[in-house]
Structure 1
């Protein structure tokens, strides 16, 4: 499990006291969990944003890249809020999690002066849900 643990030197906004998190595969790509090592009651559902928003992009500043020790390998995940009905679930595109899979460092970046918001529909109009009827 050590290879799944990421160090957030400044924690996450609102959860600054938690610095170590495990990135756990749910077995349902593109979803995963970010689980606090310090408090098992603190976890977040994450998603690979490019699956739902292929044109999603942002610029990582040089100081942020240096802080994370990023040379060339980087992973991006975004927090998801599950709603009922499922079609109302949202993804936070304004504050992506940037992860260095080599050095196991991570940070949530807030994109200033961006058109992205904290609540974009996870299932945008170009995607559809296929449910099995019982």
Structure 2
């Protein structure tokens, strides 16, 4: 499948890279189909909208930066995503002008079911995680309320 992107121009992606978000992503509810484009080196990838070539999100494997990161996925989300066994968890990254100030959103992970190609950004309620955990120099196993 050929898609157009603002950042990389024309890309040839496979159906295996496409995930359907039944409710979109908060703030982008009309965007329901995305391709996961992995960066060859490192823990990063992009979530590229198939409908809007200028909409993409930088993602990362949160366990690389916060190995003790854990949460319980609500049963309603498991049902919506049709999760039985395999699951991929990614977090949105915000790059700052000063790279060491870049952050990872651990409060609202992107959860993907690679078997069914479904996805959802899940907001964790009653969580000590925040939306701005430092990407670099992450304290091992420590989380401060709100990610500050």
TM-score (norm 2): 0.83
**Residue 57 (structure 2) aligned to one of 44, 59, 71:** 44
2:114 paired residue among 98, 101, 104: 101
- Are positions 1:112 and 2:128 aligned together? no
Within 5 A, what are the aligned runs for 1:18-97?
Answer: 18-97=31-110
Q: Return the alpha-carbon distance in structure 2 between the equivalents of residues 14 and 125 of structure 1.
A: 28
Q: Determine helix, strand or coil for the equivalent of 1:66.
A: helix
Runs of 4+ in 1 over 4 A off after TM superposition: none
5+ residue gaps, structure 1, are 128-134
Q: TM-score, normalised by structure 1?
A: 0.91
RMSD (Å) for aligned C-alpha atoms: 1.1
Measured after TM superposition, the shift of residue 124 of structure 1 is 2.6
C-alpha deviation, 1:29, in angstroms: 2.0
Unaligned stretches of 5+ in structure 2? 1-13, 141-148
CA distance in 2, matches of 1:111, 1:26: 27
How many residues end up aligned between the 2 structures? 127
CA contact (8 A) 2:60 2:93 kept: yes
